[in-house]
Structure 1
Amino acid sequence: MNSDPLQSFINHKADTGMQCGNYSIDIPELAEGEQYRFHFDATVCVGCHCCETACNELQNNAADVKWRRVGEMEGGEFPNVMQLFNSMSCNHCIEPECLIGCPTESYIKFEESGIVWHDDDTCIGCQYCTWNCPYEVPVFNHDRGIVTKCDMCHDKLEVGETPACVQACPAGAIEIEAVHKDEWIKYDMEKEGVAPHLPDVSITQPTTRYTLPENMPEFKPADEHIIKPAHAELPLVFMTVLTQLSLGAFMALFLGQLLFGLGFNLPEPTLGMALMALIPSAIGLPLSALHLGRPILALTAMRNWRRSWLSREAIALGLYTLLATFVVGLYYLEVNTFLLLLVMTLTLGVGIYGIYAQSMIYRVKARPAWDRESTTKRFFGSAYIGFLL
């Protein structure tokens, strides 16, 4: 028996093919339909947080900016208790919701490796991806004003080097593997892609594979008794409410103008009324930029209009505000009723779509409590207050 602990560990690594402690690994070649993924073995993780530390040191992140974090769970009844750790990083999902929701298209899924990469240069720091990711992987970096996340140390993988977390884990609990995406979804994802207290895998189709202990008791997060307040976004609160009030007021303005045009014995809406409908949106919309980490790039939020409800909201409400301003100009010029109603109809339609898109921003798969029809109804309910005013 070898009495040298270091040599014993080296021999064990050689016998088992462990990736930990190596500066380079034999990266598996990817066949068609495959991508890279993490494998986490919870049966050997000791909760030392070496993976967290190594990741932060390599990426030069602050202590509170964790691309990989270790969670702790407890289960069983005394004296038969069990402690379980989960080292969580980006799952490099097959259908990443962060990529779909990002308004600036700052997320890219590399076709050749499957790695989900974040482009820091185009990020505006809106943090919408933190809502869309059910695993809360993207993390906001206050010093840089942007969101950042794990990229599987793709630059190291490209030259055959080991990702920091894999290299640092003393127990060999984290490894890099190749996975066939279609086979994973069809056969193994719902069995090996799950761990206690993780979201439904159907949301994003994560690729991380878990090895868990057999005959596990029911686990509870060790910190479940700690209340963690959500990040406050007062500029968004004011923008949301003010644009909704503006639409409601514009609905009342349109209805009044329509009834007047149809010959009802009602006073014609005035320029002052048109201004009152415009002002809340004209104030609220610019306020939304104040919650961004990089407000100077606010206009780039319109880029991902094909997929992101945030981009659609930005375009629709921006256009609504411009059209409402044009309507004010028409009232000032006292144009004929037909032309006025024509422009107002277009403005109202764009505004309604804008508030609908606004509600859909909150109806994300990762937040089941928000993803319901009542959310949309409540957004338009706030607009009704503006109608009454």
Structure 2
Amino acid sequence: MRSPVIEPEKPQTSALDVGVFTPDISAKTSIPEVGQEQVGRSNHWEVRSEEQAYAYLPETPSEVENRYGKRIDLVELTDNPVGRSLFINGNPEVGSNPDRNKQHGFFFTADNCIGCHACESACSEKNDNPAHLAFRSVGYVEGGSYPDYKRMNISMACNHCDDPVCLKGCPTRAYTKHAEYGAVLQDPDTCFGCGYCTWVCPYNAPQLDPVKGQVSKCNMCVDRLEVGLKPACVSACVGNALDFGVIENTPENRQQCKTSIPGFPSPEITQPNIRFQQTKSLPEEMTRTDDMPVKYHKDENGEYLPVVDQKVGKQRHWNLSKLNSRENPLVLFTLLAQGALGTFMIPFIGALAGIEMFTQFTESNFFLPLVILSIGMTSLGLFMSVTHLGKPFRFYRGFNNLRYSPMSREGLGLALFSAFMGLTALFLVPSNEWVMSILQGAGVDSLMLNTHFPWASVVEVSGVLASVSGATGLYYMNQCYQIKARPFWHHWQTASSFVGNSLSIGAMVSGVLVLIFFNAESLPNQVALEILGAIFLLGLVLEALGLKAHNHTLNRSENEGGAAHYVQCTTFGKTYLLRNALLGFNILAASGLLIYANVFTVNEPLYLAAWIGISLMNIVTALIGRALFYNLVIPTTMPGAFFWKNKGFEQHARDVGLADNPACGVAPLSH
């Protein structure tokens, strides 16, 4: 079954603003004089006569399908296969490359790469990238022992995948996969800097610029392809390690066309359009020189698989200061949104289920303040998520990709949750004695004062819609983190944590107003405390079960998820144990209070004070747990070098002030 090429609804000129380099249009076999009319090539570019023969794309027959079963010739998958312009740099003319509608890709010969970084330089020069940004980067893995010590360099950029997860994940629809060359192109002007594409890409291709607050990436040099030239990085390669052409065409003088080499994440995640040759023998184990606690071990089939590299030993540390990160707004956003869902839905659904105490509460004057409190929590959470964006004033673009992006669907679900809660609050006004007395005292005379209208039924409908929207938002919040490129998150523990926090925080917050209501009405509150306490305990137990399963899985994992767990048990070992101890104590204390209340006569002030203490401790536990969630994740990125593309070095450069020098290539964390 064919996978459709996703077409843009309109030309995005800024997405194809591919630099100031003006490519040559001369023939491949001979270089004409400047100004000579070209035969068989587009002539809308200024002629350059200095291009060498190796810079031109070969014209060779292509396969019908690639090894993933996808069509290589994409002409049948577009509505306008002939003569559609890419609007490169605003130019409406069309290139005449005969392979224009075929899927192209890079070919990397690891045996030839000498690590000179000429490809990086050519790419950055053409795209006018700052020092801290690189669309193509060269890392390496090494292994063996003297004198037989070997290094393998890896040059990597965007692989213009058949299944581009960046495109599907981007909430703003800044990405487009074109039928022309199969290029996955991104529009930085449409991007609002959430960085979600950098999370889902296994190859670190999209680059988030913390200075500009936007993402950009390799554009396949489509301006050069239009006139038959290879990308700038390929033309600049001095070791003949990089090549480019129609995918599955093995370049001349090459004997392999593999889909993976040591250090390259599983191609099954995105089906990338890159092929490799690596024939020289390598040691059984290859290590990374960056701070990633991952190395690669050869299995019985000769494939190199990731294993945990215990680079920092096994000693446990606190590192509480490192919990403070760029993801702090997301820590608050997720906890506030999940808490708001529980705060509203626990009493509302409890009333729908016929539980008497919740029915009494939702029919009282206190239900309106609870709804308003839930709206406030959700609004504050959404505001925090907006502050996380590189371009926060463009937050409205987050709904552009409802067809694919879980982030767009999450945002829509929470926005509808807030909207329907707002309607619920509005419909509660006529039945709220406090508000009505204020309105009547102010001389307000409106239809809302009509107490004969069935407001309770309307409130029930709007509340159900709010609950469905909120549950949908929570579901897609979980889906946002089910990322194959981040195995530490790609586990059902993420869902159990989110639902568990909704129950525990929701029971805690709603319990405050429920208990105030019971005390105001001089009603016994022990039953309310027991029911809310049971819901609170259920949330804690659900979270603990997920953590136990997560720990069990990662202890037996040798991928990046296992590496993240290793960091969790060492770099943050004491903090991790503290969170687990607090969670365990909360479960035991909550269980003990519930059992005690059913066996003995309780002292209500002391009983209530104990629940308050457990609730406050749960807030600390949730904050630590969520901060660890964001700080520990290790993605399936490509290997870096000792300095370049090394998170450890970047942090060191910031700590000692080296990052203040722009030439260092480490950007300040301004977004």
Q: Does 1:220 align with 2:287?
A: yes
Trace 1:10-49 onto structure 2 (pairs within 5 A).
24-28=55-59, 32=73, 34-49=102-117
- Residue deviations 1:59-106 (CA, integer Å, cap 9, x gap): 110111110000021111222111110001111111111111111111
Letter matched to residue 122 of structure 2: A
Distance 1:215 1:27 in 2: 30
1:120 to 159, 184, 188: 188
Structure-2 change in CA distance of 1:161 and 1:225 (3 Å): closer
What are the within-5 Å matches in structure 2 for residues 162-241 of structure 1? 162-180=230-248, 192-217=258-283, 218-224=285-291, 232-241=326-335
Query: 1:225 & 1:371 partners in 2: Cα distance?
Result: 19
Give the alignment partner of residue 324 of structure 1, picking from 421, 424, 430.
421
Q: CA deviation at 1:344?
A: 0.8
Amino acid at match of 2:133: V
CA distance in 2, matches of 1:350, 1:304: 18
Indicate if the aligned counterparts of 1:22 and 1:167 stay in contact, CA closer than 8 A. no
Offset at residue 27 of structure 1 (A): 4.2
Query: The residue matched to 2:360 in structure 1 has which SS?
Result: coil
Aligned-pair distance for 1:143?
3.3
In 2, Cα distance between equivalents of 1:61 and 1:97: 24
Matched with 1:266 is 360
Code of the aligned partner of 2:105: R
Residue 283 of structure 1 is matched in structure 2 by: 380
State the match for 2:493 in structure 1: 374
Contact kept in structure 2, 1:362 and 1:371, CA below 8 Å: yes
Higher strand share: 1
**1:372, CA displacement in angstroms?**
1.6
Q: Which has the larger radius of gyration?
A: 2
Letter of the 2:273 partner, please give it: T
- Mean Cα deviation higher: 239-248 or 33-42: 33-42
Q: Which of 348, 364, 367 in structure 2 is aligned with 1:254? A: 348
Paired residues of 2:428 and 2:455 also in contact (CA < 8 A): no
Greater mean alpha carbon deviation, residues 57-66 or residues 73-82: 73-82
Q: Which has the higher contact order (CA 8 A, sep 6+)?
A: 1
For 1:129 and 1:365, how far apart are their aligned partners in 2?
Answer: 13
The range that moved more, 272-281 or 125-134, is: 272-281
Equivalence for 2:482: 363
Between the aligned partners of 1:337 and 1:284, the Cα distance in structure 2 is 29
CA separation in 1, counterparts of 2:121 and 2:214? 21
1:118 Cα deviation after fit: 0.7
> What is the match of residue 8 of structure 1?
none
Contact kept, 8 Å, 1:130 with 1:139, in 2: the verdict is yes
Residue 272 of structure 1: how far off its partner (Å):
1.7
Q: Verify the 8 A CA contact 2:57 2:244 in the aligned structure 1.
A: no
Match of 1:308 in 2: 405
Letter aligned with residue 344 of structure 1:
G
Measured after TM superposition, the shift of residue 24 of structure 1 is 4.0
Match of 2:227 among 148, 159, 162: 159
Q: Is this contact kept in 2: 1:253–1:273, CA < 8 A?
A: no
Q: Say which of 58, 63, 73 aligns to 2:126.
A: 58
Measure how far apart 1:163 and its partner are.
Answer: 1.7
Q: Is the CA contact (8 Å cut-off) linking 1:116 and 1:151 kept in structure 2? A: yes
Alignment match of 2:159 (pick from 91, 95, 105):
91
Counterpart of 1:150 in structure 2 is 218
SS at match of 2:138: strand
Alpha-carbon distance, 1:257 to partner: 3.9
**Structure 2: gaps (5+ residues):** 1-28, 30-50, 63-72, 75-101, 294-310, 312-321, 432-453, 509-671
Once the two structures are superposed, residues 134-189 of structure 1 have per-residue CA deviations (whole angstroms, 9 ceiling, x without a partner) of 111111123332101111111111122332211211111111121259x9xxxx99
Aligned-pair RMSD on alpha carbons? Answer: 2.8
In 1, Cα distance between equivalents of 2:190 and 2:327:
21
- Please tell me the residue identity of whatever aligns with 2:496: K
Q: Residues of 2 paired with 1:28 and 1:290: CA distance?
A: 50
- The 8 Å contact of residues 235 and 287 in structure 1, kept in 2 or not, is answered as yes
Q: Are the equivalent residues in 1 in contact too, given 2:336–2:381 (CA < 8 A)?
A: yes
Distance 1:367 1:225 in 2: 14
SS of the aligned residue for 1:75 comes to strand
Matched residue type, 1:198: F
Q: Which residue of 1 aligns with 2:173?
A: 105
Distance 1:207 1:360 in 2: 26
Tell me: CA distance 1:72–1:245, structure 2 relative to 1, closer, same or farther (3 Å).
same
> What's the TM-score, normalizing by structure 1?
0.86
Gaps of 5+ in 1: 1-13, 15-19
**Using a 3 Å threshold, how does the CA distance of structure 1 residues 206 and 328 change in structure 2: closer, same or farther?**
same
Change in 2 beyond 3 A, CA 1:225/1:163: closer
Could you tell me how far 1:57 is from its partner in structure 2? 1.0
Distance 1:225-1:272 versus aligned 2 partners, 3 A rule:
closer
Letter in 2 for 1:47: G
Q: Is the 8 A contact 1:261 1:337 kept in 2?
A: no
Amino acid at match of 2:200: N
3-state SS of paired residue (1:362)? coil
How many Å separate the matches in 1 of 2:357 and 2:240? Answer: 81
Cα distance change on mapping 1:251 and 1:42 into 2, 3 Å = same
CA distance in 1, matches of 2:358, 2:344: 19
**Equivalent in 474, 499, 505 of residue 386 of structure 1:** 505
Three-state SS of the structure 2 residue aligned to 1:192 is coil
Contact 2:171-2:399 at 8 Å conserved across structures: yes
Following the alignment from structure 2 to structure 1, what is the Cα–Cα distance between the partners of residues 348 and 402?
Answer: 28
Structure-2 change in CA distance of 1:312 and 1:265 (3 Å): closer
Letter aligned with residue 286 of structure 2: F
Query: Which one-letter code corresponds to 2:281 in the other structure?
Result: N
CA distance in 2, matches of 1:387, 1:243: 10
**Residue identity in the other structure for 1:193:** T
**CA 1:379–1:41: 2 relative to 1, 3 Å:** same
TM-score, normalization by structure 2: 0.51
Contact 1:260-1:266 at 8 Å conserved across structures: no
Q: Would the aligned equivalents of 1:27 and 1:157 in 2 still touch at CA under 8 Å?
A: no
How far did 1:222 drift?
Answer: 1.9
State the 1:309 CA deviation: 0.1
Q: CA deviation at 1:345?
A: 1.2
The residue type paired with residue 49 of structure 1 is: H
